[in-house]
């Protein structure tokens, strides 16, 4: 049965929501191990840390060059203009303001509706491209409390997309129940030190878009919540024998 499921997956295609960050790059490697054809989609929504869009093609090309077994599976990359999302958002990810907690208990880096919009457009693209599987790097273990990253939200989105498009999408969230240290371990299990090094050096997670500073865990300001999570995850990953 397991073998049959693996064979079916290898014959099917997947679309990975790929931002250029650590989590989505790990999910991309996860998908490349499982599916016969993998395409990627990114979103330009006027994000403050838009340097992540610049590193996307660098990461994709590095995967093709350094992992020949995956190169043949890695298909087209798509970039969608969702600047309207930035226009209706007033957050620390779409405006040059200090990162802070809000009265509702969420950080002001939360972009309301962002993942809901992303999933809807990704599904529309996957429908056109004939891709059944959607892979996204959301997580509710090491995260900032964003409600659109939660497992319940993703399950509801899968149901809504399948009902609304009358199809059978499968939403995959490989990182949902693991922390950042375990994400690094997953990276290592998928592609060894070569993949760990690629994701450390080439991806971008810093909310401030700072690539001028280099740490042992990668580029970033070293002070924002995204850098804190990545750095602490790296420390615990490297501390594990």
At 156-182, the pLDDT tens digits run 999 999 999 999 999 999 999 999 999
Q: What is the mean pLDDT of the chain?
A: 89
Judged on CB neighbours under 10 Å (0-12, 13-18, 19+), 104 is exposed
* For residue 69, pLDDT beyond 90: yes
pLDDT tens for residues 224-235? 989 999 999 999
Token pair listed for 114: 């962002």
Class of domain 5-204: alpha beta
SS3 81: strand
> Which of 2-6, 47-51, 84-88 bottoms out in mean pLDDT, i.e. has the lowest?
2-6
Residues within the annotated binding site for ATP? 18-28
Residues within the annotated binding site for Zn(2+)? 206, 221, 224, 227
* For residue 208, pLDDT beyond 80: yes
Residues within the annotated binding site? 18-28, 206, 221, 224, 227
What is the distance between the alpha carbons of residues 122 and 3, in angstroms, rounded to a whole number? 28
């Amino acid at each position: 049965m397991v073998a049959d499921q693996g064979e079916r997956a290898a014959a099917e295609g997947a679309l990975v929501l790929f931002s250029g960050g650590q989590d989505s790059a790990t999910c991309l490697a996860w998908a490349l191990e499982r599916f016969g054809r993998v395409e990627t989609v990114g979103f330009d929504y006027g994000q403050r840390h838009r340097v992540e869009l610049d590193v996307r093609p660098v990461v994709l090309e590095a995967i093709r060059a350094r992992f020949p077994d995956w190169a043949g599976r890695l298909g087209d990359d798509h970039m969608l203009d969702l600047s309207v999302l930035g226009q209706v958002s007033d957050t620390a990810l779409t405006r040059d303001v200090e990162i802070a907690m809000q009265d509702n208990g969420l950080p002001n880096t939360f972009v309301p509706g962002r993942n809901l919009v992303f999933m809807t457009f990704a599904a529309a693209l996957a429908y056109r491209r004939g891709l059944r599987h959607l892979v996204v790097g959301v997580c509710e273990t090491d995260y900032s409390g964003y409600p659109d990253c939660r497992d319940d939200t993703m399950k509801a989105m899968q149901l809504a997309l399948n009902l609304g498009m009358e199809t059978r999408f499968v939403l995959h969230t490989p990182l949902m129940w693991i922390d950042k240290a375990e994400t690094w371990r997953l990276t290592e299990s998928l592609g060894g030190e070569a993949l760990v090094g690629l994701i450390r050096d080439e991806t971008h997670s810093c909310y401030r878009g700072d690539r001028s500073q280099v740490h042992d865990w990668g580029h970033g300001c070293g002070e924002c919540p995204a850098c804190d999570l990545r750095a602490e995850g790296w420390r615990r990953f490297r501390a594990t024998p």
